[in-house]
Structure 1
Amino acid sequence: MIPVLVTQNVVVDHTRGERRDTLDQAWAEFLAACGLLAVPVPNHPAAVDLLTAADAGGLLLTGGNDLAAYGGSAPERDAVEACLVAAAIERGLPVLGVCRGMQFLLHRFGARLEPVTGHVATEHVIETGEGPRMVNSFHRWGARAGAGPLRVTARAADGVVEAVAALELRVAGLMWHPERNAVADVRDVALFRDHLGVGSCAR
């Protein structure tokens, strides 16, 4: 399996005075179905060295904390992801952002995020280049347009951007959570395998 660096959510345990890095175990299972090995990344500046040390095949920015620029409380995560994305792009490694991860990419390339309604704990139809599909939705922030090299590849009916891609940079993002489906969607498996370098879906 190809190792992929996976960023983590920051959760504060006030009873113990700890800031914890957390990752849903569902990610390891979903990535394994894609032929990928999840390598969790600590929210620490030294984490950028993992790109070389782990011989990573790519970078996955997961969901979770709001961006600090929009009121989030995990600036250390933003800083680490900024370093990781810059290093991955410089080295020509693929980057894939999910939910907050896609928001991070949009913000990095200059898009304006705004509060959106009807996108939390629900399912809805999106329009993609391959036609409509139903996806889950767990986000409070969204964009109405791409930015910089990020081209819009999917939208919800209300105009909110649901997926982006900058193929020349090997960067892509999606707003739904493929790891939260009880059974992995073969389209998501194919997307992860293709973008992160495993090849066509063989399930």
Structure 2
Amino acid sequence: MVAVSQRVVVKKNERRDALDSNWAAFLERCGFLPLEIPNRPSMVERLLKKVNSSAVLLTGGNDLAVYGGDSPERDATETLLLEYALRRGLPLLGVCRGMQLIQNYYGVKLKRVKGHVVRSQSIRVRGRRQTVNSYHCWGALETREPLEVWAVADDGVIKAIRHRHKPVLGIMWHPERFAPFRGNDIRGITDFLRGIKRQL
């Protein structure tokens, strides 16, 4: 089972937690069940102690509060999920905003970037070309220890990171938004979340 964070959606003065249904379908293809975590920091630790999650997924959506976002409860919840994974040595994957939260946690500064809301973008992953999607307006050009750069766009914006010593990985593309899902995403994320590999 994978503990999965959710975005905050405000509708008619109601604050709702929401998860793209594609994530449930994607995780099912990977052989996992999703445990959707409510954006209520006071419940996170108790909930995780009740359920035996083997990995953590921080999903996309909502800007971080420090960059103008309006969901500080999500920032707090995801920070607790990150720290829980670090303490227990669980694989943690951050997607888009999830990667930004990891970067922010380790003191990486983000800035506004242009040209990164596209359905198809060529990036360099360890020197090899790969085509991904991209739906973000914030990015970073450098990283900080203990994170290392794993993939970059042609303009230097970092598209993937990993922790040097822990099973923590961040990617800026959305594997759940490809239709159909890509086989290499399924295989790579399955192996990472199972602790078989430290990268995709």
Q: What TM-score does the superposition give when structure 1 sets the normalisation length?
A: 0.92
Question: What's the secondary structure of 2:132's corresponding residue?
Answer: strand
User: How far 1:130 sits from its partner (Å)?
Assistant: 6.4
User: How far 1:51 sits from its partner (Å)?
Assistant: 2.4
Counterpart-to-counterpart distance in 2, 1:51 and 1:184: 29
Question: What's the secondary structure of 2:33's corresponding residue?
Answer: strand
Match of 1:13 in 2: 11
Question: What's the secondary structure of 1:169's corresponding residue?
Answer: coil
Match of 1:52 in 2: 49
Unpaired runs of 5+ residues, structure 2, are none
Question: What's the secondary structure of 2:84's corresponding residue?
Answer: helix
Are the aligned partners of 1:50 and 1:56 in contact in 2 as well (CA < 8 Å)?
Answer: no
Counterpart-to-counterpart distance in 2, 1:121 and 1:131: 20
Are the aligned partners of 2:92 and 2:167 in contact in 1 as well (CA < 8 Å)?
Answer: yes
Letter of the structure 2 residue corresponding to residue 108 of structure 1: Y
Question: What's the CA shift string for 1:66-102, capped at 9, x where partnerless?
Answer: 0000000000000111111111101111111000000
- Structure 1 runs (4+) greater than 6 angstroms displaced: none
User: How far 1:135 sits from its partner (Å)?
Assistant: 0.4
Question: What's the secondary structure of 2:81's corresponding residue?
Answer: helix
Counterpart-to-counterpart distance in 1, 2:53 and 2:177: 24
Q: How big is the alpha-carbon RMSD for the aligned residues of Structure 1 and Structure 2?
A: 1.4
Counterpart-to-counterpart distance in 2, 1:51 and 1:150: 26
Question: What's the CA shift string for 1:6-26, capped at 9, x where partnerless?
Answer: 000000012xx2100000000
Unpaired runs of 5+ residues, structure 1, are none
Letter of the structure 2 residue corresponding to residue 12 of structure 1: V
Instruction: Say whether 1:35 aligns with 2:31.
Output: yes
Are the aligned partners of 2:167 and 2:195 in contact in 1 as well (CA < 8 Å)?
Answer: no
User: How far 1:199 sits from its partner (Å)?
Assistant: 4.5
Are the aligned partners of 2:4 and 2:35 in contact in 1 as well (CA < 8 Å)?
Answer: yes
Question: What's the CA shift string for 1:31-50, capped at 9, x where partnerless?
Answer: 11111111111000112323
